[in-house]
Amino acid sequence: MLPGGWALLGERGKWVGASGRRVRAVSASAAALRVELRGSEGELVELDVLEPARGTARSVRVVLGAGGVGTVTVARS
């Protein structure tokens, strides 16, 4: 569990949990979860997270930008 009760479950459709090569940084607070990613430029990455308020998994998507990096922020609903 991360601060604020968040959990990064991993990348959807992958067998291995969040890899140190894919995930550059993770930060969390009571209000939001922020994940910095790397991969191929233009790549669509779909992550599953556990939102503390709901206690259910939620899927979020980000397209990696220039240099194959991207950030996704998930706000508490």
What does the domain layout of the chain look like in residue ranges? 3-75
Structural tokens at position 12: 């959807």
pLDDT digits (tens, 9 = 90+) for 29-39: 999 999 999 99
Q: Which pLDDT value is given to residue 13?
A: 79
pTM beyond 0.75, yes or no = yes
Quick one: what percent of the chain has pLDDT higher than 90? 62
The answer to whether residue 16 scores a pLDDT higher than 70 is no
Q: Is the dihedral of CA 31, 33, 12, 71 positive or negative?
A: positive
Residue range 58-65: mean pLDDT, rounded: 94
Q: What is the mean pLDDT of residues 13-22?
A: 73
Q: At which residue do the structure tokens 């990348």 appear?
A: 11
Distance between CA atoms of residues 15 and 52, nearest Å? 24
